Structure 1
Amino acid sequence: MSFRPRMTAFTEGVSLLRPLAWRAFDGMVADFWQAEGKAGGKGYYLSPDPRIVIFLDEINHALDLKSAPAGSRKTHRPMGRAIFVPAGVPIWSRLCADEHFRHVDLHFREESLQARLVARLGAESATAALRAPVILERSPEAEALAGLLAEEISRPRNHDFYAETLIQGIVAAILPLGQSRAPSAAPVGGHGNGPGTAQIRRVLSYIEENLDRRVTISELAGAVGLSESWFAHAFKRETGQTPLQWQMRRRIEWAQEMLGEPANSVADVAAATGFADQAHLTRVFRSLTGSTPAAWRRNGAFS
């Protein structure tokens, strides 16, 4: 029997610009969406199948993606251009401005995807890769492949093998499929002491998943199996910032997004982004933006 996605979805303030285009392959389905939405539009999505979503345009969405008990408080954050959603993990999304957007959705039969990954990575690594959500602010490789896939879905010209190869490349670009996690892993680049691209993506995704709190260097290093000193040095070489500087910048950017909602008080935003109190948020916010949260909101910086 051919695979069909089993998605529960509710949307408000979002409409299609063109009919949905899609193609089915062995154990997976690829959709190409072209839509528009109004500020305040929202959606809820839940599927028992794992999936990847890649936006082809700049977006002004907010996202809450986690496996949460019913009734728990939703904490939205900026949505990345490329995300992986494990099976059974719900998404709440919200549009922060009027916009047109295009995205490619890839739905997988979990057993088929896991079998492919097990064959290349082993059972333990394959299971780990399919368990945790991934939120990437940008993934140039995946976005380029998704653009080619969108064209092929809209105007089929090639054998299914062509589209399936594009999908395989997207999976490899987004899922955390790093090589060795040991500090003695083969060096990347000319310096010989930087983590692999997959390790960096994993750390950045881990930060995105935990913008509601301060994550320690020890915890981040442990996420990729490196010592604290090795990890901190390698991260700065790769990104130009320390892990805590990167994390703090992203938490403040998330606070800015939340301040765009008039219903969110500064104290609420401070609590949701893991600061001790409103004064703590204000000090850090001013140091990074040159403005207090209240003045930033008053001056309409979000619009």
Structure 2
Amino acid sequence: MSYRHDFTGHTTNLRPIAPVEWRQLEHVLLAHWQTAGSSGATGHYVSANPRLSIFFNDMSSVSAISEAAPRKLARAIFVPAGMTLDTSFSKPLTFAHLDIHIDHAWAVRFLSAGVTRQRAVEILDRPVDRSDITEIEPMARALVGEIRDPRRHDLFASSLATCLLSGVLDIGTAEPDPGNARLTAAQMRKVARRFETGGGRRLSLSEMAQTVGLSESWFSQVFRNTTGKTPHQWQLENRVGQARDLLVGSDLSVADIADRLGFSDQSHLTRTFRRHVGETPASWRRRNR
């Protein structure tokens, strides 16, 4: 089994009204709880793995606190790994819920089929609340049925769990294939201006994409279609170009130029410069002055 359960929960005035029902799959642990809480009941929960909870009752009388401000407990919540969740009951309540405890590494691989790995990690680091579970509640109830009476292959229960996960997470819509799409001249000017404003220091892919209002994955592809280079290659060539200008047009030392352009040190600039120009900055300066 890939999933290793590491969950801690402390409650007061909450009690199960039926034995917990659970089922272990390769990458997830499924648990169905039926619980009663009195007015003033509290819960404190934290897990080393992300988890998804679907509630089959109106939970608006329960206050939930995580890293955000206090809010009403939604019908479906996704809690990232390591994030604490505290709940407080304002009135007596009997309720049932499905918990899906998820192996984080598997979840990253699962989401990476549709988005970049970096984006998958970002999605799993963000809590999500869903008040409307109309479309996913039937799947959640079907999964409870498979916990109680596993009549089908594990693949069926696992597929229901992944459908619920993708239905609750804030993944966004799929982007069209960029094909031969390119940045416009105006967009390229914006990117170049943003780079120049930074004094030659490297921009992150996110910063470059935000400059023209595109997602990172789409920007990366259309930028390459436009320039024939990756954003990293393009920036590196431009930084080397700025280094050449400073070597000829200023008295700054190679170390000072490296610092100004955001290279880690003089050696880093020297290695990069030699790779692109064919000689060290010092020898190139002597030959071109």
Q: TM-score range by the shorter chain?
A: 0.5 to 0.7
Partner SS, residue 44 of structure 2 = strand
TM-score normalised by the chain length of structure 2 = 0.58
The alpha carbon displacement at 1:50 in A equals 0.4
Letter in 2 for 1:63: A
Equivalent pair of 1:141/1:170 in contact (CA under 8 Å): no
Identity among equivalent positions (%) equals 30
Alpha-carbon separation, structure 2, partners of 1:58 and 1:19 = 22
Contact 2:2 2:103 in 1 (8 A): no
Q: Does 1:101 align with 2:95?
A: yes
Deviation at 1:142, TM superposition (A): 2.4
Structure 2 vs 1, CA of residues 181 and 91 (structure 1 numbering), >3 Å: closer, same or farther?
A: farther
The CA deviation string for residues 246-291 of structure 1, in whole angstroms up to 9 with x for no partner, is xxxxxxxxxxxxxxxxxxxxxxxxxxxxxxxxxxxxxxxxxxxxxx
Corresponding position: 1:166 with 2:160 = yes
Partner in structure 1 of residue 62 of structure 2: 61
CA contact (8 A) 1:139 1:173 kept: no
**1:4-56 deviations in whole A, cap 9, x for unaligned?**
32111100010001111101111110100011110110000011100001101
Aligned match of 1:138: 132
The code of the aligned residue for 2:39 comes to: A
Letter of the 1:112 counterpart: W
Distance 1:2 1:113 in 2: 11
Within 5 Å, give how 1:213-292 maps onto structure 2. Answer: none
**CA RMSD, 1 decimal:** 2.1
Alignment of 1:29-108 (within 5 A): 29-59=29-59, 60-66=61-67, 75-108=69-102
Q: Which runs of 5+ in 2 are unaligned?
A: 177-209, 215-289
State the distance in 1 between where 2:89 and 2:132 align: 18
Unaligned 5+ runs, structure 1: 68-74, 183-221, 227-303
One-letter code of the match for 1:105? D
SS at match of 2:114: helix
The offset of 1:2, in angstroms, is: 4.8
Point out 4+ residue stretches in structure 1 off by more than 6 angstroms.
Answer: none
Check conservation: 2:123, 2:169, Cα contact below 8 A: yes
Deviation at 1:97, TM superposition (A): 1.2
CA drift of 1:128 comes to: 1.9
How far apart in 2 are the matches of 1:156 and 1:95?
33
The yes-or-no answer on 1:4 pairing with 2:4 is: yes
Find 1:179's aligned residue among 168, 173, 190. 173
Please say which structure displays the higher CA radius of gyration. Answer: 2
Displacement, 1:92? 0.4
Partner residue, 1:18: 18
Query: Compared with structure 1, are the counterparts of its residues 164 and 180 closer, same or farther at alpha carbon in structure 2 (3 Å cutoff)?
Result: closer
Contact 1:114–1:127 (CA under 8 A) maintained in structure 2: yes
Distance 2:84 2:28 in 1: 19
Contact 1:40 1:94 in 2 (8 A): yes
